[in-house]
Amino acid sequence: MDEYHPGIYKFLDYKPDGIIDITDLHTLDGSTYAPVTYSFNLGFSYKGLTFKTLWTGTIGKYINYRRASIIPFYAGDLVVHAAHLNYWRPDNHNSDIPALSFNDQMYAWSGGTSKYPGYDLALPGYTWRKSDYLTIKEVMLAYKFSGSKIKRALGVESLGVTLSCNNLWTFFNSSLKDTDPQRLTTASNYYPTMRILKLSVNLAF
């Protein structure tokens, strides 16, 4: 059959009964909900200057890719994603995805529909990927002006200026492409995490 060729997956007869079918589906390690979440603060203060950062992250988290966002040409979709570019070729045996194919019926043994074969199939390292991350959730830089000079100039006891940024940067596994590691699945549309820059001024009379 033309859907079987070098570079595609070999599926394990997990049952085993000599047949590869939906009964060979089995539980995989991991969860889209991280068993370990953590956060910590780093910063310093010196005279009127204050610098603070808040970091958050996860350990043991996985992401479940929607088939159309990771399997090439799934259900006849002719869109090519960045995750497809490192596909298996005779000169690229260390690929993280199989050889490109216009035929997705190789996944039909695991159920689904004729249009969406193998919809419930999760392939470790492919549609089911580790998605631990560490993100700089907030960075704050503040300075407080006080004393006789600021009182004479502005008539206030103190002037505080604060610059902060939320969701500055996220570090994660480079194998994750076309998605945000903080998501649980790519099966639905979402608004990306926005980077927010804030400037505030505080006057004390």
For the stretch 156-173, pLDDT in tens is 888 899 999 999 999 998
Rounded Cα distance, 7 and 91, in Å: 11
| Helices and strands, counts by H and E, the chain | 2, 7
1: confidence class by pLDDT, cuts 50, 70, 90: very low
Does residue 154 surpass a pLDDT of 50?
Answer: yes
What is residue 84's predicted lDDT score, i.e. its pLDDT? 77
Neighbours of 26 (CB within 10 A): 8
pTM metric for this prediction: 0.76
Residues 35-76: tens digit of each pLDDT = 999 999 999 999 999 999 999 999 999 988 877 667 777 777
Mean pLDDT of 80-104: 82
Contact 64, 122 (CB under 8 A): yes
Does residue 118 surpass a pLDDT of 80?
Answer: no
For residues 83 and 149, which has the higher predicted lDDT (pLDDT)? Answer: 149
